[in-house]
A and B are shown apart, each in its own frame.
Chain A
Amino acid sequence: MTWIDFPLYSSIVVILWIFGLVFLLISYKKEAVLKIANLLFVAGWAVLILFVLKLWIELDRPPMRTLGETRLWYAAFLPLVGFVTYIRWKYKWFLAYSIIMAGMFLAINYLHPETYSKTLMPALQSPWFIPHVLVYLFSYAVLAASSIVAVKGWYDSYKGNFDLETLKLADNLVYIGFAFLTLGLLFGALWAKEAWGHYWTWDPKEVWAFLTWMGYLIYIHYRHFHIHKSKQALTILALAFVVLLVCWFGVNYLPVANTSVHTYTQY
């Protein structure tokens, strides 16, 4: 069992998942087929886990060294978190999102096999790497979804048929996203202590991650006490997402960028 078997296994996984997604889509009309969709997702996931385990046994070490192996773990963990979130919150689109993201990582591995042996600087070689990135991946996705809900809210109130339920959905998404955001931030702090000797160094990326966290903190506190001021809440939500985008992409373009440990030189 090596990477040579990867195309076979990944194709099986992806095909199972695509059928699952189709059934998930149908389930919006016909609830009963959702079970089939879930069954297909679980089956695909089981095949993937089988591949990871066999690869692990074959390599005689946890497959966590190369970028390809890292992606394999993303693909394995994304559906798991998606399932837990789905079981708790019943957001079908979120399950679909996690499956599609996982499939995407498999596809990238399939299309770029040359990246299997990629260089990774020593500080990044840590068991914290995958959980740190993974929880952020989820957090950003859920918070982005909350912003889409906010846009819908704005549009509705512009049209004059704003429904408070819309904001309640946004609230719930922010709570879930914020929980992941907190985990990402704290995992990062714990990792930094192991790698650089200090848990918090006000690195530009850290500063903006902290600001994102604070932005959503304002929203949560505002919503908690001003249930009926929906316009203001929507504005705060939109601003918080702008800060998130700065943290995600924008930091590299700010004057502070060259002092960051999070900007890796890429050719």
Chain B
Amino acid sequence: MSENHLNVQRKLWENPWGYVESFFIGFGLIVTGFFLEVFVSTSNTFTLSYPFNLYFLIGYVLTLFVLYKWFSTSQIIKWLTKVPASISSITLVTFMVMIMGIIPQVSSESNIINNLGLNKITSNWAFLLILFQFLTCLGLISIKRILQFKWSNFGFILNHLGLFLALIAGILGTGDLQRLSVNTYEGKPSWIATNSQKQEIELPFAFYLKDFVIDEYNPKLALIDNKTGSIAENDGKNLYLVEKDETYYIKNFEIKVNEFLATSARLGDRYHPVNELGSPPSAFISVRNIETDSIINNWISSGSFSQPYESLKISEDYSIVMTIPEVKKFSSDIDILTQEGERISTVLEVNKPFKHKGWKIYQLSYDDKMGKWSNLSVLELVRDPWLPVIYIGIFMMIAGAFYMFWMGNKITKNQ
């Protein structure tokens, strides 16, 4: 109760600064940022890369330390280590991120969005300035608690310092983050990568793609509305995977799969198993109309890049089609050839990257048009030297989360 009275009596900018002043400063930063966006806008985004980002980090942390140690009686430092500054900066960062969550971050036709940079929030001055205040608060209070040397601050430091490290390393690390993609072809060595600006870069090692393999799920059966050509509703259920000797019920049709061929070709009045480039899956199905008891059977096929698809019309309204099989897994069997003449064999797969000399190598994509007959496999190489710092931050926060779960709100002030 007394807090409210104090607020009424004290004047604006009187010591100590409260919420009004905090939001005033915060909005000031955001407005300044937007002014910078409108009048000083540059087409290329400004990033720090090694060693300047490292210098910046060291300088920043030292400054924070010096400010806390020797200037903690000054008005601004006192304010930055108090709650109103934290809450206002958390709220305003949330506000800026919310813009990102509503306005698509792609080029826009609206002049307001373009001029204020609302479609590129992550490099927007307003966002960067308020984030800078947020980080400064976070850094200062982390230093404050660390210097207190108390066990009871353990959870606090894990959470706050963890977030500080993850954020600062993430932001400064973007300048050193390299993401390259390499097109590799079966039976050929490749060592030319392209970066996000489409520039070609020669790698100090080469990839030799021995084999690119795609595992597919079986195709699915779908009921198509003949008039609209789209998939007819089936009580919200998923489509059925085609499997031999299975019977499925869609609306009032009973569909039996008599035969299923994973790769096949039409020869005369039926499909035969063949294994050639572009041979699609096919199935021989019989469809019984449960109401009229009439039966229709024929071959259907999903088709491929080289073969047409075949559907089966089962009534005036509906047809049965086979969908293009979905990919279950794709992997590249590669050799990495180094300049020293080493040959490292590995298999790359989605979710299973491989580490080599500071690079993480990922299976990215392939030629979708060719599907499982693709002999192109696109690999991605990522180098992020700041990752260890980010991981330290993340793992500190994970530990902090467990601490929080266990302690709950037992440490509430004044209680």
Give the contact stretch, choosing among B30-38, B67-75, B93-101, B277-285: B93-101
Chain B's interface: helix, strand, loop or mixed, by majority? Answer: mixed
One of A117, A175, A186 near B397 (C-beta < 8 A): A186
For B91, B231, B398, B409, the residue with the greatest tally of chain A CB atoms inside 10 Å of its CB is: B409
> CA separation between A168 and B239, bound complex, in Å?
48
- Is B398 within 8 A of A183, CB to CB? yes
In the assembled complex, the CB of B295 is this many whole angstroms from the nearest CB of chain A, namely 23
| A218 contacts the other chain (CB 8 A) | yes
In the assembled complex, the CB of B230 is this many whole angstroms from the nearest CB of chain A, namely 10
Q: Which residue of A lies closest to B239 (CB)?
A: A267
> Which residues of A from 178 to 228 have beta carbons under 8 Å from B?
178-180, 182-183, 186, 189-190, 193-200, 202, 204, 207-208, 210-211, 214-215, 217-218, 221-228
In the assembled complex, the CB of A166 is this many whole angstroms from the nearest CB of chain B, namely 13
Contact with A along B297-329 (1 / 0, CB 8 A): 000000000000000000000000000001111
One of B179, B330, B397 near A197 (C-beta < 8 A): B179
For A178, A204, A207, A266, the residue with the greatest tally of chain B CB atoms inside 10 Å of its CB is: A207
| A176 contacts the other chain (CB 8 A) | yes
Q: Known A171-B409, A227-B414; judge A221-B222 contact (CB<8 A).
A: no
B407 surroundings in chain A (CB, below 8 A): 175
Residues of B within 8 A of A (CB): 1, 3, 83, 86-87, 90-91, 93-94, 97-98, 100-106, 122, 170, 177, 179, 217, 220, 222, 231, 237-241, 243, 326-330, 349-353, 360, 362, 364, 380, 382, 384, 387, 390, 394, 397-398, 400-402, 404-409, 412-415
- Is A214 within 8 A of B93, CB to CB? yes
B231 surroundings in chain A (CB, below 8 A): 267
- Is B404 within 8 A of A175, CB to CB? yes
Q: Known A179-B405, A197-B382; judge A227-B412 contact (CB<8 A).
A: yes
B104 surroundings in chain A (CB, below 8 A): 255-256, 259
B350 surroundings in chain A (CB, below 8 A): 122-123, 125, 195
A194 surroundings in chain B (CB, below 8 A): 351-353
In the assembled complex, the CB of B117 is this many whole angstroms from the nearest CB of chain A, namely 15
Residues of A within 8 A of B (CB): 88-89, 114-115, 117-123, 125-126, 168, 171-172, 174-176, 178-180, 182-183, 186, 189-190, 193-200, 202, 204, 207-208, 210-211, 214-215, 217-218, 221-229, 246, 251, 254-256, 259, 266-267
A174 surroundings in chain B (CB, below 8 A): 409
B106 surroundings in chain A (CB, below 8 A): 259
Q: Known A179-B401, A204-B101; judge A172-B409 contact (CB<8 A).
A: yes
Q: Known A171-B409, A183-B401; judge A215-B382 contact (CB<8 A).
A: no
For B105, B170, B350, B353, the residue with the greatest tally of chain A CB atoms inside 10 Å of its CB is: B350
Q: Known A176-B405, A197-B360; judge A186-B351 contact (CB<8 A).
A: no
Inter-chain pairs besides A122-B328, A176-B405, A197-B382, 10 sampled, C-beta below 8 Å: A119-B326, A122-B330, A168-B409, A183-B398, A189-B394, A195-B350, A200-B170, A221-B86, A256-B104, A256-B105
- Is B328 within 8 A of A119, CB to CB? yes
